[in-house]
A = this chain, B = another copy of it.
Amino acid sequence: MRVEIINTGSELLLGSTLNTHGAWLGQQLMPLGLRVQRLVTVPDGDPIRAAIKESVEGCDALIVTGGLGPTSDDVTREATAEALGVDLIEDEHAVRCIEQFFEKLGRPMTPSNLKQAQHPVGADVLPNPHGTAPGVYVPPRMGSASPCAIFLLPGPPHEMHAMFESEVYPRLKALVEIPEDHGITEVKFSGVGESSFQDALDEKLNAIDGGAMEVGYCARPGEMDLRLIGTSAQRLEGKQLAISTYPDFYVNEDGASLEATLVRELAASGKKLALAESCTGGRISSRITDVSGASAVFTHGYVTYANEAKVAMLDVNSELIESHGAVSEEVAKAMAEGALLKSGADISISVTGIAGPTGGTDDKPVGTVWIGIAEKSASGIEVSAEPKLYPQGREVFKQQVSQATLMKILRVIR
């Protein structure tokens, strides 16, 4: 099935708005085994007409976003009717939906909104609970002019996403005849590089069921998703193979962020966490408190950016700093221990390093970091620290160190 996408909207071509529709739709279509053959972005108004006419003639399924508003340059509906050689008619049910939307807002509906209730003769109206613009579905082979299935969707991302999931995906699934058991599993790993992962596993994953399962990878700084598309038995086998190969780097398979996974598992373990951050400057605390419910597990964060702060806030012995330097195993351990004692937490983590671009030496180059950990145990407090190196620049450094630290805590509490 040849799929094309048309994204309409002048703002997408001015540089002020990044077009995320293409990537989002590409991801949604993948579990259906569909690939986008061409994506065309055009400004509002007449260019929409030419784009729709051309695509309708050249593909089997067309998704158009935007241009369903009430103003004169919103011409997606008219352009589609023109391309199909049919008239537009007003839909009674759609009129009532738009009226109800305005009632909810407490504002009167304007006459120009009536235009939004129109659709090409023979098409279906797709409800839009999040905005005034209903969508439109033109079934394939509706008229002799077009064997193409056409979906007209609103431009705002949250309206488009909701309508795709509830109205478009099921219709496409029926058209491509995907078996009921077919689905997608995404497994998140952190701390193992995409290329090492592929070298170790790609061949084995692609051998499952003679290659019937589709295997994909999506890498982000410090983490990657393994994407498996196939039957539930194929996906289970692939997932178990990957997790058993890299048990220490496994995060989750529910799409939650690393920090959300950590907050959830800390809460389940009943343990409280304290953080002592130097080089990450609060990034780790900020990521944890991005998660609603973080207050149940995280109470104290010490951002000890200066040496005096390490001494004053965490009782680090200033002689330790003088003799070993602030970026050292000894200071990382003292910071973690200080944070544990001061806060009363069950686990504490410390980071001290050189984010760069300045401050590096031959012994301790830019990117060096010590990660310390202190934990309450039956026999007292256990303290340790390990060195890491992330020399790819300040922004990547902070992200990678925070990622490695969150992962370290997760491993400790599991």
Residues on A facing B (Cβ under 8 Å): 12-20, 22-28, 30, 35-43, 47, 51, 216, 218, 275, 277, 279-286, 288-290, 292, 294-295, 298-306, 308-309, 312-313, 342-344, 355-358, 394-395, 398
Measured between C-beta atoms, what is the minimum distance from A82 to chain B in Å? 18
Q: How far is the CA of A299 from the CA of B12 in the complex (A)?
A: 42
Measured between C-beta atoms, what is the minimum distance from A375 to chain B in Å? 19
Q: Are A19 and B16 within 8 A (Cβ)?
A: no
Q: How far is the CA of A303 from the CA of B273 in the complex (A)?
A: 13
Q: How far is the CA of A96 from the CA of B277 in the complex (A)?
A: 49
Contacts of A356 in B (CB 8 A): 292
Q: Are A286 and B280 within 8 A (Cβ)?
A: yes
Given A14-B30, A26-B15, A35-B13, the answer on whether A286 and B286 have CB atoms closer than 8 Å is yes
Residue of chain B at shortest CB distance from A220 = B16
Q: Are B281 and A395 within 8 A (Cβ)?
A: no
Given A43-B35, A299-B308, the answer on whether A281 and B288 have CB atoms closer than 8 Å is yes
Contacts of A309 in B (CB 8 A): 299-301, 343
Q: Are A16 and B216 within 8 A (Cβ)?
A: yes
Partner among B15, B25, B292 whose Cβ is within 8 Å of the Cβ of A357: B292
Contacts of A290 in B (CB 8 A): 281, 394-395, 398
Measured between C-beta atoms, what is the minimum distance from A350 to chain B in Å? 14
Contacts of A43 in B (CB 8 A): 35-37
- Counting chain B CB atoms within 10 Å of each CB, which of A305, A342, A394 scores highest? A305
Q: How far is the CA of A284 from the CA of B299 in the complex (A)?
A: 17
Q: Are B16 and A394 within 8 A (Cβ)?
A: no
Q: Are A18 and B23 within 8 A (Cβ)?
A: yes
Measured between C-beta atoms, what is the minimum distance from A17 to chain B in Å? 7
Q: Are B289 and A305 within 8 A (Cβ)?
A: yes
Given A38-B47, A285-B281, A305-B289, the answer on whether A17 and B23 have CB atoms closer than 8 Å is yes
Q: Are A294 and B305 within 8 A (Cβ)?
A: yes
Contacts of A282 in B (CB 8 A): 277, 282-286, 289, 301, 303
